[in-house]
Chains A and B, each alone.
Chain A
Amino acid sequence: MKEQSDIKNTEVAIVKGDTPKETVLKGIEILGGIHKFIEEGDQVFIKFNLCLPTGFPTNTNFDVLESLIASCKKAGASKIYAGSFPFKGISIDTISNLLNLKDYFSNIGAELVFIDNSNVFKEKNFKKDQLNEIKNKSFSMVTINEKEYLVPKIITESDKFIIVNQVNVNPLFKLNLSLLNSYSIVSPKYQEIGSNENLDNDYISYDQYKNDLISNILDVFTIKQPNLVINDFFYLLESAGPYIYRDSNLKKTGIAVIGNNAVSVDLITLKLLNIDIQDYDLILAANQRGLGIIDPQKINLLGEKIEDNNIIIDLCVSKLKDINLKNLLVNSGRFCSGCYKQAYHLLNFMKTYMTKDLKYNPNNAFLVGQNPLEPEHFKNILLFGDCAIKSTKNSNFRKIEKILKKNTANQKKSKKLKKSGSQKKEKIKVKTNKKILELPGCPPDILDCLELLIKYYGKKNLPNLSFYKKILETIVNPKEKENLRVMGVI
């Protein structure tokens, strides 16, 4: 199962074209044609980006997928499957319905695989043991580095495995590259990183969250290494991503990088996009584990030259406060990548979809991480993550002081007294500040945070979020969520 790709014969093509479709096909040709990767009768699994039921470039470019599927068919593939695990809490069936993907794939000669079995359990009401049976039939448990991963059998049993990755900016890894893409062959549950239950300081200092994440990504990558890897950045989502946010911009580069080794393809993509590989820990770790070469000299480079294509892109902001929301101040303490990633998405969601809500509810402070700076004179304080909640238990803002007023008769008296020069003592009462919203989790879950925001501010004060929540309800179905839980997907 743990195949090693032939890293000594790594070939990578840099291709430029007029359309994404043409670019990818040209790349495969430069590498020797599709027959080099797919043999007659092969069962092929294409792993693509299937994150949310939204438009391009959240998911892979369907024109690229279509041309790749046509090529595989031409090469004699007996069966072509395509799939991926989406964003936590959303089933493939929901995305397929909203984008009509099942029929679309079938029309272009492939089959969309419901690797979460969501197409099965929507048909009828299964009992728990029946769901477990379905789970056992479709998944196998793979242990790597003493960690267990539930992997769809259809992927491990396929003869050939292809990754088609849409390159977008990413808050944690700068870019969504193919190594990261391969992580969603396991379900969101198995992608999760265990929480820092004791709120250990070292966990944050060493950014254990990110280290564990990198280690898990590489573990999963070794389960099934791809035969062909496509990093498509003909169009690249820059500034804010990998989902479409207010600050997102689509940059047209006209380029794709294609090869037979994911690490090398990612490396060349980084080079083209002017990102120092020393800043891309995932690739360094992959190299350490012998999963690919990070020396471009040792890669057989075909097509365009790196030095002729100097592409500058805007990456995600590196500081949460730079997301720059109106009426919301961000104070960060010490935090790890877990909270950074989730806070990044929550803040971008708020900036994109909750402008009116923020206008209606001014003076918010958003505190994240351990011991964030105390906010002063803020109406609402949002504590994001367990670290922020626990480390501020005794902070001044937790209490408010109230000066008790005298009745009018007393006040009149006191005025007279003041005039005559005497001092009156004021009575101060200390109360618990109730204008605090705790968003727990290590790191917190975005959908849970949205629920808590509505509860705290009230529907009336959040017209935007109340509306989008109703839309979200058409996507996230509680019954389906329960089934996904039993299935081991979330």
Chain B
Amino acid sequence: MINKKFQKNWLKILNYNSNIELGDKFKLVDDKVRIPLTPIEVNPYLLYYLFETLYPKFINSQQNILDIIISDDGKKIIKSYLYKTKKAGIHESIEIFPHDIIKVHKKDFEDIERFYDRILGGLIKKKGARVSSIRVFKEKAITYINQHCIDIEDLPFDMLLLKFLDLIQKLVKQDLFVLYPEPKIFRFLKDIINFLNGYQLNSLFKIFYPLLPEFNISIIFGSQELIIILHLQKIFVSKSETPYLRLKLMLPNELDINLDGLNENEIIGLVRERLQTDNTYFINQRDVISLLTELINLPVNIREENLLLILQKILFAYRSFEKHWFLRPKPIIYNNLLRFLLRIIGFNLNLRKLSHWAIPDLISNLFESWFGLNSKILLIISDTEKYKKLNLNNFNYLEKVTDYMLLFEIENKTLVKINSIAKEDLFTNGEIGSLESIRDKLSEKYGFLSSIIIIDKLLLQNLIKHFVFEHSEYAPISKIRTLKMLKKQKFFYIFPELPLYKLIQKKGTIALLKLVLPILIDKHEF
């Protein structure tokens, strides 16, 4: 019933897991398994470790799991499997479960708690066993999973992600899969999908992915138990027209690295050399897990203060260079002499003093004062590169260059809804004339539109490249050039022209930087 390749791989994983005894520290084998539902091949121990570490934190920390496949009408059980686990999340044996132990009622899928209690009662009575969680799939879910698994082996990671997001959306939207007790991560996913209001997760990925520059990086996730290396690339392969995303997960010994006695910087150096990456990061697994845990604990209707808290944590982590994370090659921006020289000409650029509290504060103040506590903001992502000759005297050019339009609804500092606006709905007769007419049109349907923000793909690409991927690189010219793009209507425009936008227009980029940097970077005193 389930995809053959999926099944074979799954059994291989179970087989490996069953050979590991509690207390076994590190059991490498000369074999590979695929991470379920992906083509990513990893050492079975790495997968074991991931399950051992992540499953209890994000899914369920108790033992034994029961998988039940029911018919689409919910009337009968088609198959059920019992996984006895010595450790939470470590699936090691599979047992086909006799049907007569469980009786299924039509309403079970809706009242999963009662269903679980009945199963638990039956199991204890007839088999003397307990299960800590049940996963119920409708038959259709299995069909979708099987479809997903076809030919995924050769897919580049970006395509796989698109397929995977599509699968998740279908399973959640069509109520094909239930987990009990429901883990927070699943609730979070469901909330995101419902929040997107029909908008496809993979469409969001399609907006975001082209904005990323080409890159070749590795990230080392450090811990006392096991160090994991992630190699991530966005590259052009042979004659491909678009760059592919590639992802590999590996263990240090797969790169012939013996970690004994090495410190973080030495490990980074070796990994970078073996993988030939542009940048190599070292981050603690503990920090990543803690950030992810906080993220999934947030309500999806994101309240500004929660978002700012997360931003605060990220910035705090960012400023802890060589405490919480390491990077090689070591950015020149951390060179004391360079910073001293920059300070002499009026720029305090100490990234270790990045003001993790003042930056979120500034963003929140600017946002709240100018957009208000309730607002509706239309974000237009344009692609002016497509057209060389654009008449910027009016906004008619938007019809040609608009790629995406998203309308954000904010109520009492909380993002409550995102609507995707179809181009055809807005640009019906070809003539837009003024942005006020767009406001007028959308206000009719959604209520008063506070602002329209037009941002060009090229600017976004440059911002991501120079300020995210090359965040600590000392490259003043490219960074200033990117900031200067904010002054050009073609790349960035806010309607109506808010005071901050006017300030950006009026002030020179360097002068503006000098004005803002003292807020972004703390003085040395604390």
**Which of A's residues lie within 8 Å of B, judged by CB?**
19, 21, 53-58, 61-63, 66, 97-100, 103-104, 107-108, 235, 237, 244, 246, 248-250, 252, 352-353, 355-356, 359-360, 460, 463-464, 466-467, 470-472, 474-475
Contact = CB atoms under 8 A, between A and B. Distances in A.
Contacts of B114: none
B447 A474 contact: no
Interface in B280-324: none
Given A61-B448, A467-B519, A474-B506, A248 B373 contact: yes
A225 B523 CA distance: 56
Q: Which 4 A-B pairs have the closest CB atoms?
A: A55-B372, A463-B518, A100-B496, A56-B372
Contacts of B507: 470
Nearest to B414: A250
B518 to A, nearest CB: 4
B450 to A, nearest CB: 6
Interface of B: 355, 357-358, 361-362, 365, 368-375, 411-413, 434, 436-437, 439-440, 443, 447-448, 450, 495-500, 502-503, 506-507, 515-516, 518-519, 523, 525-526
A353 B365 contact: yes
B355 A356 contact: yes
B448 A98 contact: no
B519 A103 contact: no
Contacts of B526: 359
B519 A250 contact: no
A98 B496 contact: yes
Given A66-B448, A474-B499, 11 more contacts: A56-B450, A57-B373, A61-B448, A97-B496, A100-B436, A352-B365, A464-B358, A466-B515, A466-B518, A471-B500, A474-B506
A57 B412 CA distance: 10
Contacts of B357: 355
Given A244-B369, A356-B519, A470-B507, A56 B374 contact: yes
A444 B376 CA distance: 36
A59 to B, nearest CB: 9
Contacts of B519: 356, 463-464, 467
B499 A471 contact: yes
Given A63-B447, A467-B516, A356 B373 contact: no
24 contacts: A53-B499, A55-B372, A55-B375, A56-B373, A62-B443, A63-B448, A66-B448, A97-B496, A100-B436, A103-B434, A104-B436, A107-B440, A108-B440, A237-B373, A244-B373, A249-B412, A252-B411, A352-B365, A355-B358, A356-B355, A463-B518, A464-B362, A470-B503, A470-B507
B518 A460 contact: yes
A292 B502 CA distance: 46
A55 B373 CA distance: 7
Nearest to B437: A107
A250 B412 contact: yes
Nearest to B520: A463
Given A248-B373, A352-B365, A360-B523, A103 B412 contact: no
Contacts of A103: 434, 436
Given A21-B447, A107-B436, A250-B412, A98 B499 contact: yes
Contacts of A472: 499
Given A55-B368, A100-B496, A107-B440, A474 B523 contact: no
B338 to A, nearest CB: 22
Contacts of B365: 246, 352-353
A249 B497 CA distance: 26
Contact of B450 (A55, A246, A464, A475): A55
B497 A97 contact: yes
Contacts of B448: 61-63, 66
Contacts of A246: 365
Given A66-B443, A104-B436, A355-B361, A57 B374 contact: yes
Nearest to B444: A66
Contacts of A97: 496-497
Most interface-central of B370, B448, B502, B516 (chain A CB within 10 A): B448
Nearest to A359: B526
Contacts of A466: 515, 518
A474 B370 CA distance: 13
Nearest to A19: B447
Given A19-B447, A66-B443, A356-B519, A54 B372 contact: yes
Contacts of B502: 98, 474
B503 A471 contact: yes
B503 A100 contact: no
A356 B522 CA distance: 9
Contacts of A464: 358, 362, 519
A244 B374 contact: no
Contacts of A250: 373-374, 411-413
B372 A467 contact: no
B105 to A, nearest CB: 37
A360 B526 CA distance: 9
Nearest to A251: B412
Nearest to A106: B436
Contacts of A58: 372
Nearest to A100: B496
A97 B494 CA distance: 13
B452 to A, nearest CB: 10
A228 B456 CA distance: 46
A460 B518 CA distance: 8
Nearest to B413: A250
